[in-house]
A and B are shown apart, each in its own frame.
Chain A
Amino acid sequence: EIVLTQSPGTLSLSPGERATLSCRASQSVSSSYLAWYQQKPGQAPRLLIYGASSRATGIPDRFSGSGSGTDFTLTISRLEPEDFAVYYCQQYGSSRYTFGQGTKLEIK
């Protein structure tokens, strides 16, 4: 089973700053199979990025994804107040899905 490790666990930034979140896989993952989700308190997760770098429907272009192999990154170019949330990466393999443990993005 592929394990996804996200870092940092918590990221403290101010609105307007740039956020860089990391997701590292224990084995190589096809870029097609890597996604990012956002979850706000009391809400269901929302798909942000699929295929490592494609934005889901309605996702603002300040969100971008990149990476390949075992290292993937979610970047938020300029933080808005509504972006403070928990972010999860997720991979698909052999009809199984695994999530990273999450990165909490908090207001500094």
Chain B
Amino acid sequence: EVQLVESGGVVVQPGGSLRLSCAASGFTFDDYTMHWVRQAPGKGLEWVSLISWDGGSTYYADSVKGRFTISRDNSKNSLYLQMNSLRTEDTALYYCAKDDGDGYNLDYWGQGTLVTVSS
């Protein structure tokens, strides 16, 4: 059974930094591209970033480019999101999601970790 468990969400002040983690199990982690998607309270879904199976390719939404860095450790079956220069508009539930292998869809999602940016 595929499991994705996010952690690291806390309350942080504007301008602060935070690192989210996602522990993966139930599939061959290093075979798949992985994603971060966020959802502001009461709002819709916003794709944030992806990283290829080997970490060699990364992409970001314009809203986080230059501030967030995605990474992975295939030896630990773990995905990360380093978040710097946080803004109040970054407040959201952050989901870790697995790519389905085709590169177009996200077929498994974690339950999310809540990041609140507030003074």
Residue A102, interface by CB 8 Å? yes
Q: If the complex has contacts A32-B104, A33-B104, A35-B105, are A96 and B111 also in contact, measured as CB distance less than 8 A?
A: no
Residue B11, interface by CB 8 Å? no
Q: If the complex has contacts A95-B59, A99-B45, A99-B47, are A44 and B103 also in contact, measured as CB distance less than 8 A?
A: no
Q: If the complex has contacts A95-B50, A96-B59, A96-B61, are A47 and B106 also in contact, measured as CB distance less than 8 A?
A: yes
Most buried by B among A32, A51, A97: A97
Residue B54, interface by CB 8 Å? no
Bound Cα distance A37, B44 (Å): 12
In the complex, the answer to whether A44 meets B109 with C-beta atoms within 8 Å is yes
- By a CB distance below 8 angstroms, the chain A residues around B44 are 88, 99-102
Bound Cα distance A13, B73 (Å): 46
Per the CB 8 Å criterion, the residue count for chain B at the interface is: 23
Q: If the complex has contacts A44-B95, A50-B100, are A56 and B107 also in contact, measured as CB distance less than 8 A?
A: yes
Bound Cα distance A66, B111 (Å): 29
Q: If the complex has contacts A35-B104, A96-B61, are A46 and B109 also in contact, measured as CB distance less than 8 A?
A: yes
Most buried by A among B57, B105, B112: B105
In the complex, the answer to whether B50 meets A50 with C-beta atoms within 8 Å is no
Query: Top 7 A-B pairs ranked by shortest CB distance?
Result: A44-B109, A97-B47, A92-B104, A99-B45, A50-B105, A95-B59, A35-B105
Q: Given A50-B105, A90-B105, 7 other A-B contacts at CB below 8 A?
A: A45-B45, A45-B95, A99-B44, A99-B45, A100-B44, A101-B44, A102-B45
